[in-house]
Chain A
Amino acid sequence: MMKKNSSFIVAMIPAGIALNWVANSIVEMLKLPLFLNNIGTVLNAIVLGPLWGAATALMTNVILALIVRWTYLPFALVGIFVAFLAYFFYKKGWFKKAWKVMTAGAVTGILASAVATVISVYAFGGFSGHTVDVLTAGLIASGQEIFNAAFVANIPGTVADKLLTFYIVWMILKIFPVRFLPNAKDIREKIGIAPKNSTSKKKTA
C-alpha cells in the first residue's frame, strides 16, 4: 500500500488535516454546538489505514500548536486514539448499519473523553481551553473532585461529537464515487453495500 500509493498518502494526510480544520467553520456556520474536528482523522483511518489516521491526528495537533497555541499539542493523543478506534470498529464490521455506527461513535466518544480528561488533568489541571472549562470550574466549585468534574463536563459534548463524526463519514462513504477511493472494493464491503451489483455487472459485460 505504501509503495503503490505513497504520493497519494502524502497528499491525503494534509487534506485530512485541512478537513479537520475546515469542519469547524462549517459547524460554526450551521450554529451547532459541536467541533467535528476529527472528521478527517476518521476518514483517513478508514481509507488509508490506522497508522496514517494516527499520523493525521498527530499532524493536525502539531499544526494547531504552530498556528494557534501550543496547548493543543498534548491532545494529539486523543486524536490518535480515535483513529485507532475508528479503524478497529471499521475492521470488526460495525460500519454496516446506522445504529451500529452510532454505538461505535458513542463508545469512541466515552473512551476519547476519558483520555482527554486524563491529559487535561495532568497537563492543565483539568482545563482544556474550550468553553467547557466554565462548566468544569463550576462543577469543581460545587464540590466535585477535579477528575470527575472534568470528565462529567467533557462527556456529553465529546460523545455527541464523535457519534456525529462517525455517522457523517459513514453516510458519505456510502454515497462516494468509487473511482476516487484507492481500496474501494474493500471499503464497500465493510460499509454494508453488498458487492452483488458489481459482480453481476461484470458477468453481463
Chain B
Amino acid sequence: MNSLYLPKDSLIHSLDPRTKMIFVAFVVASSFIMNDPALQLLLLVSLFPLVVIAKLVKPYLISIQFLLLFAVLIMTVHGIYNPIGVTPVFEIFGGLTFKYESMVYASVMSFRILVIGTGAVLFVMTTHPSDMASALVKWKVPHSFAFILLSTFQIIPIIAREAKIVMEAQQARCLDVKGNIIQRVKNLVPMFAPLFIITFMKVHQLSYVLECRAFSRKGNKTSLRETNIGSLDYSFLLGMLAVLVFEIYLKLFMMGSFQWTTDALLTYSLIGTWVVCGFMLVKFLVKRFQGKFGGVN
C-alpha cells in the first residue's frame, strides 16, 4: 500500500512536504473564508494549473470523480428540498423547483468539498509517505506518531495477506460461505479469531525488532530521506500569503460592491455537474458492456 503517491519529476514534487502541508491548510482556510459560490468556483479553477504543473491531470480527474458524485447529490437534493430556500430559480419536470438560497447553500458546500479535495489530492499524490513522516518529526510531532503513520502503510498489506490465508484455510476446513445470513454472521468469529491471534503474534515480533533497533531510546533519530526548505518553498509560501491577504481584503471590503453569484451561474454549475456525472455514468456503463461481451480490451 503506497498511499496515492505518484513519483514524477515536477515543481510541486520537489517542494518540501511542510510547504505542501501549509498549502493544504491554506486551501481549507480559503475555502471557508470565501463562502460564496462564484469565488469558490474561481478558487477551484485557479487550483487547476497547479495540477497541470504537477503532471497529475489524469489521476486527479479519476480521484475527483467520487467527490463529484457527492456534489451532484448535495446540489440536487438540497437545491430542491432544503427548507431555507424561498426564491424559485427554475423548474424541472414534475413541479420541483430549485430555490436560490438553498442552491447557494448547496453549491458552497459541494464546491468546498471539491476545493479541499483538489488540495488534498495535490498534497497526497506529490508527497512520499516517508517525507511526510520526516516533515512531521521536524515539526516536533512525537517520533512514535510518525512511525505509526509510516508503518501502517507497510502493515496493511501484511495483514491483508494473512486475512486471505485465513479465509482460504477456513474454507478448506468446510466453512460455509454461502449459507443463510445468520450462518454467515456466525462465520465471522472463526474468520476473525485466527486473524486476531496472527496479528498479535506479528505485533510482538515487530515490538521485539523495534526494541532491538533501540526504538524507545531517547535522542535524535535520523531519516533516510532528507527534506530541505529552499528558495522555491519560500516563494511558494509568500505567494500563498499574498493570496490569503487578498482574499481577506476581498471578503472585508469588496463583498458588497459586486455580485457574481447570479441565477445563471448557479444553474449552469448545477447542469455542468449533471453533465459530467452523466458522462461518467455512460463511461461506466460502456465499460461494463464491454466487459460482458468481451469487447476490444
Contact = CB atoms under 8 A, between A and B. Distances in A.
Interface of A: 5-8, 10-15, 17-19, 21-23, 25-27, 29-32, 36, 39, 43, 55, 59, 62-63, 65-67, 69-71, 124-127, 129, 133, 137, 140-141, 145-146, 164, 168, 171-172, 175-177, 180-181
Nearest to B106: A125
A133 B117 contact: no
B232 to A, nearest CB: 24
Given A140-B81, A168-B188, A15 B199 contact: yes
A18 B77 CA distance: 35
B266 to A, nearest CB: 16
Given A15-B155, A124-B70, A66 B188 contact: no
Interface string B55-79: 0000000010011001001100110
Contacts of A26: 163, 167, 188, 191-192, 195
Given A19-B199, A26-B191, A177-B197, A7 B167 contact: no
B207 A11 contact: yes
B202 interface: yes
A29 B167 contact: yes
B155 A14 contact: yes
B203 A32 contact: no
Interface stretch (B7-15, B146-154, B221-229, B233-241): B146-154
Nearest to B177: A30
Nearest to B4: A67
A20 B248 CA distance: 41
A7 B209 CA distance: 9
30 contacts: A6-B144, A7-B210, A8-B203, A8-B204, A8-B207, A10-B147, A11-B203, A11-B206, A14-B152, A19-B196, A21-B160, A25-B160, A25-B164, A26-B191, A26-B192, A29-B177, A55-B148, A63-B156, A67-B1, A69-B63, A71-B67, A125-B109, A126-B77, A145-B83, A164-B185, A168-B189, A168-B192, A175-B193, A180-B200, A181-B200
Given A10-B147, A71-B113, A22 B156 contact: yes
Interface in B164-186: 164, 167, 177, 181, 184-185
Given A18-B158, A29-B177, A172 B74 contact: no
B78 A125 contact: yes
Interface of B: 1, 3-4, 63, 66-67, 70, 73-74, 77-78, 80-83, 106, 109-110, 113, 116-117, 120, 124, 129, 144, 147-149, 151-153, 155-156, 158-160, 163-164, 167, 177, 181, 184-185, 187-189, 191-193, 195-197, 199-204, 206-207, 210-211, 215-216
B201 A39 contact: no
Nearest to B178: A31
A117 to B, nearest CB: 15
B215 A7 contact: yes
B157 to A, nearest CB: 9
Give 3 closest A-B pairs by Cβ, nearest first: A18-B159, A11-B206, A180-B200
B120 A65 contact: yes
Secondary structure dominating the interface of A: helix
A137 B78 CA distance: 9
B152 A63 contact: yes
B70 A30 contact: no
Given A15-B202, A26-B195, A125-B74, 16 more contacts: A11-B210, A14-B148, A31-B184, A32-B181, A43-B196, A59-B152, A63-B156, A69-B63, A69-B66, A70-B116, A70-B117, A125-B109, A141-B77, A145-B83, A168-B189, A181-B200
Given A26-B188, A43-B196, A18 B152 contact: yes
Given A21-B159, A59-B148, A30 B187 contact: yes
